[in-house]
Amino acid sequence: MDRDGVKSVDRDGDRVARGGRGTFSSLRIRNYRLFFTGAIVSNTGTWMARITQDWLVLSLTGSAAAVGITTALQFLPMLLFGLYGGVIADRYSKRLILLFSQAALGLCGLALAVLTLSGHVQVWHVYLVAFLLGMVTVVDNPTRQSFVSEMVGPDQLRNAVSLNSANFQSARLIGPAVAGVLIATVGSGWSFLLNGLFFLGPLTGLLLMRPSEFHKVERVPRGKGQLREGLRYVAGRPDLMWPIVLVGFVGTFGFNFPIWLTAFADDVYHVGAGTYGFLNTLMAAGSLAGALLAARRGSSRLRMVVVAAVAFGLLEIAAALSPSFWLFALLLVPIGMVGLTINVTANSAVQMATDPVMRGRVMSLYLMVFVGGTPIGAPLLGWITDTYGARVGFATGGLVSLTAAGVIGLVLAKVGGLRMAFAWHHGHPQVRFVARESRERLATAA
């Protein structure tokens, strides 16, 4: 890929489309199929536990800020140590790392189940388990992200990234609904227990994989300066840096849905856990649709990330100002769709643009800014929500996302070494960000 342009992102996307057409093309690969199947099970449990955790904290404290603190503690380790997780992912066997990390995540779920079912759970227990989950995901997240390329290879990478998101959002359709029923009928502890047991799914899939069928990736030997090397690599690549900066702002301020949905359910519309789960399910439906649409697209463009972020901010503001419950609920569907489009498009563009030997470190930086900013955004927006109300809190997140998209769009066009290029493709006008010094070559190729 050219260091300072996005033409090769489109070229990689074309290669993905040629390598295997169809929304589910990467599932023809046995190792990825095992990975995908195990993830369906564990993701369902994860969403059950996430919804249950937020509702439990709200029940124990009555505070949206406390929900924000829980979310912040879960993502604080990614902010503090996320880059080190990428170094580990580049250095060791990703399959072995995932066997240990998935087992540890399951044990965290079982520990919270024991505390809740025994009747001894306190809010500090939830805080502690959330922090421990965050410590495990420091290594687990960049490893899972970069492991996809070893299972499917470059031709199917974009499709597999999109299907991973579809997998996660499919589980989000089921998990919150099941959690709402369990909380209302038998209590929160059983939801945590099922979450812990569900991690047997990915562990089984990892054990059944055939290592001989992995795409070989060079391991990075132990050495000094590897973390700084990853940062310098991204800093010299505007096609990597600006999508990462944008998803950092959107992830930090625009993705605080546990805070806002609990507050809207409890304070604005005065509904119970079942309706809270229903709101999450609506958002998941939109996210799933966005993931499946992304799986069909053949390329990842920076323009799409910026446009989606603008739409995301506008939709959040509209939902915050919604005068009725059903309008608010319906707006969650396109919010989920556009939010997922931002993540998948930026994720796949960054992965396809990155040299394989650097992918773990680059993806750890991506995840660090996308979810690692939550310890900053969640308590702040939780405080705003508690102080000024759920509508102001939600609108604030949308306004920050909208502003970041506008500013970074201008930076891409005028400051970041890129410009807006207008060209005709198959008789239709196209607008894209390209490197200034590549103007002649890219204009003719378009």
- The per-residue pLDDT for range 280-321, each reduced to its tens digit, is 778 878 888 887 777 676 555 777 888 899 999 999 999 999
- The per-residue pLDDT for range 243-254, each reduced to its tens digit, is 888 988 998 899
Q: Angle, to 10 degrees, between the axis of helix 359-371 and the axis of helix 325-353?
A: 160
- Predicted local confidence at residue 432, as pLDDT: 53
Average pLDDT value over all residues in the chain? 80
pLDDT band at 66 (very low <50, low <70, confident <90, very high): confident
- Predicted local confidence at residue 282, as pLDDT: 86
- The per-residue pLDDT for range 328-357, each reduced to its tens digit, is 999 999 999 998 888 888 887 787 777 777
Alpha-helical segments (H) within 156-301: 157-185, 188-198, 200-208, 226-235, 238-249, 257-263, 273-296
- Predicted local confidence at residue 51, as pLDDT: 83
pLDDT band at 35 (very low <50, low <70, confident <90, very high): very high
Look up residue 261 and give its two tokens: 């949905």
Contact 345, 304 (CB under 8 A): yes
- Predicted local confidence at residue 319, as pLDDT: 93
- The per-residue pLDDT for range 174-230, each reduced to its tens digit, is 887 788 888 888 888 899 999 999 999 999 999 999 998 888 776 666 666 677 787
C-alpha–C-alpha distance, residues 31 and 38, integer Å: 11
What's the pTM value of the predicted model, to 2 decimals? 0.69
Mean pLDDT within 363-382 = 80
Contacts with 114 (C-beta within 8 Å, 6 or more apart), sequence order:
none
C-alpha–C-alpha distance, residues 270 and 183, integer Å: 17
C-alpha–C-alpha distance, residues 158 and 181, integer Å: 36
pLDDT band at 119 (very low <50, low <70, confident <90, very high): confident
Distances (CA, A) of 109 to 66, 76, 81: 20, 18, 22
Nearest to 430 by CA among 422, 439, 441: 422
